[in-house]
Amino acid sequence: MRETTGERWARRIVLSLLTLFVVTPLYVMVTSGLKPLRDVQGDFTWLPTRPTIQPFLDMWRTVPLGRYMVNSLLVASVAAIVSVAIAIFAAFAVSRYRFRGRQLFSVTVLSTQMFPGILFLLPLFLIYVNLGTLTGIELYATRLGLIITYLTFSLPFSIWMLVGYFDSIPRGLDEAAQVDGAGPMRTLFRVILPTAIPGIVAVTVYAFMTAWGEVLFASVMTDENSRTLAVGLQGYATQYNVFWNQAMAASVVVSIPVVVGFLALQRYFVAGLTAGAVK
Amino acid sequence: MATTTAPGPVRPTGPPAVPAAAGRRARRRKSRRLLLPYLLLVPALVLELGVHIVPMLVGVWMSLLELTQFHIRDWSTAPFTGLENYRVTLDLDSATGKDLVHSFWVTVVYTVASVGLSWVLGLAAAVFLQRPFRGRALLRTLFLTPYALPVYTAVITWSFLFQRDTGLVNHVLAQLGLVDEPPFWLIGGNSFWSLLVVSVWRSWPFAFLCIMAGLQNVPADLYEAAAMDGAGFWRRLGSVTLPLLRPVNQVLLLVLFLWTFNDFTTPYVLFGGAAPREADLISIHIYESSFVTWNFGLGSAMSVLLLLFLLVVTAVYLLVTNRRRAYA
Amino acid sequence: MSKRHLAVLAAALVTTASLAACGDSGGSAGEAAKTLTYWASNQGASIEFDKQTLQPELDKFEKQTGIKVSLEVVPWSDLLNRLLAAATSGKGPDVVNIGNTWSASLQATGAFVPFDDATLAAVGGKDRFVPAALAAAGAPGKPPTAVPLYSLAYALYYNKKMFADAGITNPPATWEELVEVGKKLTKGDQWGLAIEGANPSENSHHAFTFGQQWGGEWFDSSGRPTFDTPQNVAAVKRYIDLMAADKIVNPSNAEYAQNQSVADFANRKAAMLLWQAAGNNFKAQGMSPDEWGVAPVPFPATTPPGGKRINSMVAGINIAIFKHTKNRDGALQFVKFMTSDEEQIILNKTYGSLPSVTTAGADPAFQAPEQKVLREVLTTTAAPLPQVPNESQFETLVGAAMKELFADAASGKPITEALVREKLSVAQQKMGS
């Protein structure tokens, strides 16, 4: 299939505009991290007139950035992996079985996606505290508590999205596997999951980012040891000043692992592309 | 939830004609098969119950109490006021009621605009990135980057761009000679547009990601066939791409809607404590009504009303989209 | 149950167990008598700076008493929410710093140990504390909910060189003079005064001071809000008019909410600033102490009817003890330690604030011109913000209303009395019953 000239130009223009839209703030983020504070507070300049890497050094001292980063990465990754694992089983059940309560389950889970966080922040907090007092399982101000909270934030959407992906996988593949004697679990792991990889990756990324960026619950449910980046980065706005340049430098640094992770996951999109072509 | 189009249950396997001994085995397998779906749902159910549903019910109960700072330490002392909080919230002659309605409409317009734009940009990028070309992988990563940034960093970067005296936006506008007097972006009427831009910047990559994943399932030969029939770009988009994206879109649009409607972080970080009236999103509004003014009963009542609204919208949305899918 | 089901169950269990492994447990309750948890507020240039400042003192306390204090410096953006959460759940730190304007609001929760005479005696007695500072620690007539730790007041900071260049010899003592010199100082990129127009707390503090000077009260004697009285309207309008009518404030200041006005002053973009103990901050931003002068906040030239001679709120940080503490005696010992002369001198010197105990004020560390002016204001012409339970609502609502007024002023909309009254009466209605 050939691309017409009009299409080619449309593609170039649209992609260029989108690139500009995406890149401008990123550019400012990087260059502001290379400016002294005085310059960042002054008139805007495209290039640092007095470039310095000092903000990249100072940022570790202004806030305990390293610890926040470890917390965020740990909380977001574990929450994402567990959430997607749970979602895969649930979505498999909903997509491949007819059972009593199926509709009720779907509707209930979906509706939890609508709960305004502000409505259940305080109750959830109290539940965690009381659970800690009663059972000794400490969920308040721990990473465990955050992981459990965040994984449920992404769960409804993950289930729903995966049901959509699983539904689009032809039943014939399941049946072929079953004719070969595979049970349901084997069918799920050997047939459905490999085909649904792009969807699973997308959902994992969603679950990760949900946990990675959450602010409201983190601001109440964390202490210094469990604080995540999303709230921890606010430490650059201190009683004295907003250290814009350090905040920008820190933004650059904390984004690197996530962007690298995205890069690594791209392979699976491409893998999914070829798998799709075979179907 | 895809119920109308979901195909029937997995057919039992094994040879159709069974002697008596195998009949028992088949029955046992059948009961196991009946149990299995529930077993698969248990983890999801337990977590949703514990973290969402039970706390939400507590929240509903809170909305019936006069839960101010005098009573938060011991809720049993909080007077039960029935629907009083709802009456205050819905009293449209009072400042509280008027502000809530105003905030509600701001949120509706903001949500529709943000979701619409995010979806269009996401679709455009996904469609134009389908065809291999040099630099495609780079662009794909680049487009996903806004989504990879912690919300706080993304929003604070934008607030930096929007500063009146020192920001890039006014710098560019002035250089292009478009404005005489530098406008404000973070206070007053423009703050709505700033909020919208930041929101779209943050959420369109997600639309892009989902649509891109959805497009992987579109077989290339369908396009070939359409192209051979002489279908142009828009025809192919309308008759091949969009119909095949429908399941993804149904989920994506709803999730973007709920996400944007309940978005708290973006306005909170962009405007600090008090959002300008023009950009007073409902989540911030409720936050201020409960956490800042310490009236958790009133805040909960507002949240419950918000939840009811979202439930109704979602139910209607699902009914309409599912019916359309059934006829499609 | 089949093997396969068992496998699914096992997978679920492993998942749960691995989750549990991620949780870190806190210290056990048995050590309660030997430990305390202390939440400090962010007073210095950064959270890390505060930790480095406080840790040696906590070590000293441990050496004296054997009580180990684990410290967390909580950013201001989180502090009130965290306090609220701790008050609600009965779980949290033993000792906390609170903004002194929150005292009455937090007192109403009943979550803090009241400092009645006996309790006060345990930390050195009522007379140790600067009376004005202790007056801002709870509702009048009730035992204070906290004791003052760091004391602050507003002052007028001015750039000496800019004043000299404009031929101004004395800092303004009245608002009329301030406007007059402000106009002389406003030229080119330089502005007469920098303000924090989008910061609700700052706005509400000025609303209080101007209100006092114009004879207004924000709450009546029974604690009901009286926001839209003619006096308060006139007071707020006077403050907004510095930008709207007098034009000595850069309209950009209408969007300042994160201490940019201090940066503007330190970067020589503005000649005057109304702030609390800003000296250390100027220094941190590269402005040397001999570049700026300090004077009391001005008064109106002719006192309006009912106007009071008040030119600052009693600002500061208080220290409080949660009732849920398991180590009340230790907590009291710690409060006593933190308010001891020695610690008061060390800490207030570091932060540029004033000691909250009378005996430490004479120390040479607090004889610089800035501290002298602040102490003078604090002891003679400062008043505490209304000590009513819904004080925090006042700060939020009136501060936000003024933010809107500044936004209007910055975009050239005329600021009329009617407009000010309208905004204030909407704020008042939102206070509820």
Q: How confident is the model at residue C190 (pLDDT cuts 50, 70, 90)?
A: very high
SS3 content of chain B, % helix, strand, coil (to 5): 70, 0, 25
First to last CA, chain A: 19
- DSSP assignment string, C241-295: HHHHTS--B-GGGGG--SSHHHHHHHTTSEEEEEEES-HHHHHHTT--GGGEEEE
CB-nearest partner of C46 from A129, A140, A235: A235
List all residues 6 or more positions away from A276 whose beta carbon is below 8 Å from its beta carbon.
A198, B216, B217, B218, B219
B11-48 exposure pattern, b = at least 16 Cβ within 10 A, e = fewer: eeeeeeeeeeeeeeeeeeeeebbeebbbbbbbbbbebb
Q: What is the pLDDT of residue C223?
A: 87
Q: How confident is the model at residue B24 (pLDDT cuts 50, 70, 90)?
A: low
The amino acid at residue A174 is D
CB contact under 8 A, C255 and B294: no
**Can you point out the beta strands (E) in C76-143?**
95-99
Q: What is the pLDDT of residues C18-66, one digit of tens each?
A: 444 444 344 444 455 689 999 999 998 888 899 999 999 999 999 999 9
Taking Cα atoms as reference points, which of C209, C266, C274 lies closest to residue C248?
A: C274
Percent of chain A residues past pLDDT 70, beyond the cut: 94
Higher pLDDT, C273 or B8: C273
Q: C249: which strand partners?
A: C193
Closest Cα in chain B, distance from residue C388 (Å): 12
Q: What is the pLDDT of residue B29?
A: 67
Which of A31, A65, A120 should we substitute to test contact with B (largest number of B Cβ atoms within 10 Å)?
A: A120
| Mean pLDDT computed over every residue of chain C | 89
Which chains neighbour C (Cβ–Cβ under 8 Å, 3 or more pairs)? Answer: A, B
Q: What is the pLDDT of residue A155?
A: 92
Q: What is the pLDDT of residue B14?
A: 40
**Least trusted range by pLDDT, from B285-294, C2-11, C288-297:** C2-11
Alpha-carbon distance of B325 to B318, in angstroms, equals 10
Q: How confident is the model at residue C5 (pLDDT cuts 50, 70, 90)?
A: low
- DSSP assignment string, A73-131: HHHHHHHHHHHHHHHHHHHHHHHH---TTHHHHHHHHHHHTT--HHHHHHHHHHHHHHH
Q: How many CB pairs under 8 A join B and C?
A: 103
Q: What is the pLDDT of residues A148-187, one digit of tens each?
A: 999 999 998 889 888 888 887 888 888 888 888 888 888 8
The amino acid at residue A78 is V
User: What are the backbone dihedrals phi and psi of residue A266, each rounded to the nearest 5 degrees, phi first?
Assistant: -55, -35
Q: How confident is the model at residue A279 (pLDDT cuts 50, 70, 90)?
A: very low
Closest Cα in chain C, distance from residue A277 (Å): 32
Percent of chain C residues past pLDDT 70, beyond the cut: 92
- DSSP assignment string, C372-388: HHHHHIIIIIEEPPP--
User: What are the backbone dihedrals phi and psi of residue B275, each rounded to the nearest 5 degrees, phi first?
Assistant: -75, 145
**Least trusted range by pLDDT, from A36-40, A79-83, C2-6:** C2-6
Q: What is the pLDDT of residues B84-136, one digit of tens each?
A: 889 988 888 888 888 899 999 999 999 999 999 999 999 999 989 887 888 88
Q: What is the pLDDT of residues C130-154, one digit of tens each?
A: 999 999 999 988 999 999 999 999 9
Q: What is the pLDDT of residues C314-330, one digit of tens each?
A: 999 999 999 999 999 99
Over 50: is that where the pLDDT of C68 sits?
yes
Over 50: is that where the pLDDT of C76 sits?
yes
Q: What is the pLDDT of residue C26?
A: 41
Over 70: is that where the pLDDT of A72 sits?
yes
Q: What is the pLDDT of residue C34?
A: 85
Average pLDDT of the residues in A59-88:
93
Over 80: is that where the pLDDT of C358 sits?
yes
Please say whether the dihedral angle defined by the alpha carbons of residues B87, B92, B98 and B101, taken in this order, is positive or negative.
positive
Most confident of A230-244, A259-273, B185-199: B185-199
Which of A82, A118, A244 should we substitute to test contact with B (largest number of B Cβ atoms within 10 Å)?
A: A118
Higher pLDDT, B163 or B227: B163
> Coil, strand, or helix at residue B217?
coil
Q: How confident is the model at residue A56 (pLDDT cuts 50, 70, 90)?
A: very high
DSSP conformational letter for C216: -
- Give whole-number Cα distances, B307 to A67, B315, C143, in Å: 36, 12, 42
Over 80: is that where the pLDDT of C11 sits?
no
Q: What is the pLDDT of residue B281?
A: 92
Alpha-carbon distance of B167 to B176, in angstroms, equals 15
The amino acid at residue A125 is F
Over 50: is that where the pLDDT of B8 sits?
no
H/E run at residue A19: helix A5-32
Higher pLDDT, C339 or B37: C339
| Mean pLDDT computed over every residue of chain B | 83
Average pLDDT of the residues in B258-266:
89
Q: What is the pLDDT of residue B117?
A: 97
Over 70: is that where the pLDDT of C86 sits?
yes
Q: What is the pLDDT of residues C103-126, one digit of tens each?
A: 998 999 999 999 999 999 999 999
Chain A CB within 8 Å of residue C52 CB: no
Q: Pick one of 3.40.190.10, 3.40.50.970, 3.30.1180.20, 3.30.1490.20 as the CATH number of C154-313+387-430.
A: 3.40.190.10
Q: What CATH number is given for B100-327 in this structure? A: 1.10.3720.10
Q: Provide the chain C residues 65-94 that lie in CB contact (below 8 A) with chain B.
A: 81, 84, 87-88, 90
CB contact under 8 A, B184 and C250: no
Q: What is the pLDDT of residue B18?
A: 46
Provide the ipTM: 0.83
- Retrieve residue B308's tokens: 């009811």
- Retrieve residue A150's tokens: 């965040």
Q: What is the pLDDT of residue C393?
A: 86
Q: What is the pLDDT of residues C262-290, one digit of tens each?
A: 999 999 999 999 999 899 899 988 899 99
List all residues 6 or more positions away from B24 whose beta carbon is below 8 Å from its beta carbon.
none
User: Any idea which fold C32-152+314-383 has?
Assistant: D-Maltodextrin-Binding Protein; domain 2 (3.40.190)
Q: What is the pLDDT of residue C353?
A: 92
CB contact under 8 A, C255 and B187: yes
CB contact under 8 A, B73 and C397: no
Alpha-carbon distance of A78 to A76, in angstroms, equals 6
Residues of A in contact with B124 (CB under 8 A): 14, 18
Class of domain A65-278: mainly alpha
> Coil, strand, or helix at residue C129?
strand
**Least trusted range by pLDDT, from B152-156, B279-283, C170-174, C355-359:** B152-156
Average pLDDT of the residues in C209-216:
96
Residues of C in contact with B32 (CB under 8 A): 2, 5
Domain boundaries, chain C: 32-152+314-383, 154-313+387-430
- Give whole-number Cα distances, C176 to B243, C21, C146, C173, C212, in Å: 71, 66, 39, 8, 17
CB contact under 8 A, A18 and B148: no
CB contact under 8 A, C42 and A74: no
DSSP conformational letter for C189: T
Residues of A in contact with B300 (CB under 8 A): 119
Q: How confident is the model at residue C95 (pLDDT cuts 50, 70, 90)?
A: very high
Which chains neighbour A (Cβ–Cβ under 8 Å, 3 or more pairs)? Answer: B, C
Chain A CB within 8 Å of residue C258 CB: yes
- CA dihedral (C58, C64, C67, C70) in degrees, to 10, reads 10
> Coil, strand, or helix at residue C315?
strand
Percent of chain A residues past pLDDT 90, beyond the cut: 31
Q: What is the pLDDT of residue C180?
A: 96
Q: How confident is the model at residue B292 (pLDDT cuts 50, 70, 90)?
A: confident
Give every strand in the sheet of C68-74, ordered side by side: C68-74, C35-41, C95-99, C315-321, C147-152, C354-355
Residues of A in contact with C279 (CB under 8 A): none
Q: What is the pLDDT of residue B257?
A: 92
**Considering the entire predicted model, what is its pTM?**
0.86
Q: What is the pLDDT of residue B259?
A: 87
Q: Taking a C-beta distance cutoff of 8 angstroms, is the pair A161, A167 a contact?
A: no
